[in-house]
A and B are shown apart, each in its own frame.
Chain A
């Protein structure tokens, strides 16, 4: 029977496409490294030397923390633009509370995380209860935090004790301790998404909120938790920056442009802006690509204005390559009669309408939800 033949084909293809999709970012990263190594060699430096690797990994750590949190939020089809201010606020609270005394470190870290969780909670509540779009809600809370920072902090403040500065300064060989911590957080995040119920629910809520609600999921909870996790990881970034700078700074978050760059890294890593599909490791790959590109440009002493041009082009080109590949490989929705490919690719505001990595890390847990998502896509 024809149904038997058609059903025998699909099971193999989704699995292969899933592998391909999460490999794409890895391949892109390898490609960028190869090109970078060649370019760096032309100015007489070794790309793989300890100092250079250290520079790249250091560049990855802070943005990595922020991007991991941003992944959760974007998976739930929201955005968080308040992260730069949370980063700055965290660095200030940490430095002020520590005040140069190593005994204060645990209290300071705890306070910072609590404050960040509260901010994330506020963001989540505004988005879910007040029904405000994530873009606007976090833009608003970001501005409120900015007003607080501008009013109360006229410059750097506080003092970070030497013991805490070690986190930002030391490394295991060429790998900084901060990068190891960031990777550990990434592992935890990936595990959270794949294995826990709330993590799986994030994919569901991001993919199609109505369907998720009808399936019995409390749609508000994963979203609020996503926002809280995003603010907490931003706080971790702020702690790392406090450790590196030795003081807290009200401008350190905005200096790094962490809001837009983290969103770009997340999208580069394969997560859909409209939510429902994505992976932490893709995000880490995106962050790594940015770090490598920045490093190569600095070593080659590229004019700073041109650096921005290159960054902009890399962002668009990388995402374009990614989405083009995925759309090509989209499996037909209805084989035989009435295959409706064209409209789907238009839908969704230019995002990826289907196919793709799927709940790459959700793996075993949610075939049912994923299928439902694809039907609704």
Chain B
């Protein structure tokens, strides 16, 4: 009897449940994003025009893609600090190898993807086989790759490559009703996001999350942890490569393109509620974190906040967002941590099947209520 009634909760209940999800740490980033977008639109109403908005999405695309890649690494319990250098290296490779010869676009693109996968493979193998902390490996890779790139080009790339290649980042499908142009970047972003969501639900994706949550249990359950971890690094380097391809179009070729991307990616992922140390998080939230971060920067641009204050505001928002997630989430979990582990999700079950299906099933993890944010208190 109760099963029948629980099949169709009232609309009000679903709305309340949705609202609660929105202010929970899982949904907090979406709330933040909505608030920021509304604020931008208030300051500059033309922002809400479809044409303008789609351009906003176009310029967030590289950051969001990089955030998605970093998501897999962080949820697996590691860091990837080399992403910025990978972006720079790929951008410079594209500029130097393609030159003005459009026919080279496809071969060079394939080479870039192979190179990106190679870098990820090297990172992953050193982390898993040589047991060096990922922070250190990717730090070393960041320095070495950037140095090697600058050495190869003598510090400045030859220039922007052929327009055909740049169209990927700069152009799009024109003459579409309402939005005028659908940039290729947006298309690529949507495709990658869908692939990421699908991937996270696959057994391999879930193994990544399991590995981040509890490596011992994961390896006991038969996962080849070295391969799973290495693949997360390959994913993140590939995502940096794709971002590089988009940036070649958007920004052009310059050695300072991509600098600091790793910190932006980590910030976006953390804003999205993914816990540093692994095991928890939703990939869409990570992408939403990237959007929220860019929306914040855009808001500061529109609000006319002097350039020099921006960093302070950014730092403050980051701390606030993560503190919010940590304190409220912990508050909830603390109450139920002493009860059954399976019922530890004190938050209401997600009302929509669609929303729930993308998230991993609640993993009956060990009672690490206090130890969630590894490396913190």
Contacts and interface: CB of A to CB of B under 8 A. Distances in A.
Interface of A: 77-79, 126-128, 130-137, 139-144, 146-148, 150-151, 209-210, 213, 219-220, 223, 260, 263-264, 267, 273-275, 303, 305-316, 319-320, 323-324, 327, 342-352
Contacts of B216: 343-344, 346-347
Interface string B139-162: 111111111101100010000000
A308 B310 contact: no
A154 to B, nearest CB: 9
B376 A352 contact: no
24 contacts: A126-B319, A133-B276, A133-B375, A135-B276, A136-B322, A139-B263, A143-B318, A150-B307, A151-B306, A273-B133, A273-B135, A274-B374, A308-B147, A309-B147, A312-B143, A315-B136, A315-B139, A316-B140, A320-B131, A327-B131, A343-B215, A343-B216, A348-B215, A349-B277
Main secondary structure of the interface of B (DSSP, over half): helix
Given A139-B263, A143-B311, A350 B128 contact: yes
A345 to B, nearest CB: 7
Contacts of B266: 135
Nearest to A152: B308
B169 interface: no
B140 A135 contact: no
Given A131-B327, A140-B315, A343 B144 contact: no
B376 A349 contact: no
B102 interface: no
Contact of B131 (A150, A305, A312, A352): A352
Contact of B126 (A128, A310, A314, A320): A320
A309 B152 CA distance: 12
A324 B132 CA distance: 8
Contact of B375 (A146, A267, A274, A319): A274
B376 A127 contact: yes
Interface residues of B, number: 67
A144 B316 CA distance: 7
B164 to A, nearest CB: 30
Contacts of A128: 377
B310 A147 contact: yes
B130 interface: yes
B370 interface: yes
A77 B146 CA distance: 29
B323 interface: yes
A349 B315 contact: no
B133 A136 contact: no
B135, B216, B278 interface centre (most CB from chain A within 10 Å): B135
Contact of A315 (B140, B145, B267): B140
Q: Which 9 A-B pairs have the closest CB atoms?
A: A147-B312, A143-B315, A308-B147, A312-B144, A312-B143, A316-B140, A140-B319, A150-B308, A131-B326
Interface in B211-251: 215-216, 219-220, 225-226, 229
A92 to B, nearest CB: 15
Interface string B345-377: 000000000000000000000001011011111
Contact of B318 (A139, A146, A344, A349): A139
A323 B131 contact: yes
A32 B215 CA distance: 36
Contacts of A267: 133, 135-136
A219 to B, nearest CB: 7
Contacts of A347: 215-216
A143 B226 CA distance: 35
Given A144-B312, A307-B147, A136 B276 contact: yes
A142 B220 CA distance: 40
Interface of B: 77-78, 81, 126-128, 130-137, 139-148, 150-151, 155, 215-216, 219-220, 225-226, 229, 263, 266-267, 270, 276-278, 306-316, 318-319, 322-323, 326-327, 330, 368, 370-371, 373-377
Contacts of B315: 139-144, 146-147
A127, A305, A344 interface centre (most CB from chain B within 10 Å): A305
B143 A308 contact: yes
Given A343-B220, A350-B132, A135 B375 contact: yes
B377 A312 contact: no
A180 to B, nearest CB: 30
Contacts of B270: 133, 136
A294 to B, nearest CB: 13
Contacts of B373: 131-133
Contacts of A346: 215-216, 219, 225-226
A151 B377 contact: no
B130 A351 contact: no
A32 B134 CA distance: 24
A310 B147 CA distance: 9
A139 B309 CA distance: 15
B309 A309 contact: no
Contacts of A137: 319, 322, 376
B51 to A, nearest CB: 33
B285 to A, nearest CB: 16
A132 B134 contact: no
Nearest to B368: A210
A144 B311 contact: yes
B131 A349 contact: no
Contact of B377 (A150, A209, A320): A209
A312 B229 CA distance: 22
B130 A130 contact: no
Contact of A260 (B139, B148, B220): B139
Contacts of A309: 143-144, 147-148, 151
Contacts of A146: 311-312, 315
Contacts of B144: 308-309, 311-313, 316
Contacts of A324: 130-131
Contacts of A220: 377
Nearest to A348: B215
Contacts of B310: 147
A80 B135 CA distance: 14
A349 B307 CA distance: 37
Given A130-B319, A263-B135, A273-B133, A312 B371 contact: no
B134 A350 contact: yes
A303 B153 CA distance: 13
A77 B375 contact: yes
Contact of B326 (A130, A140, A223, A344): A130
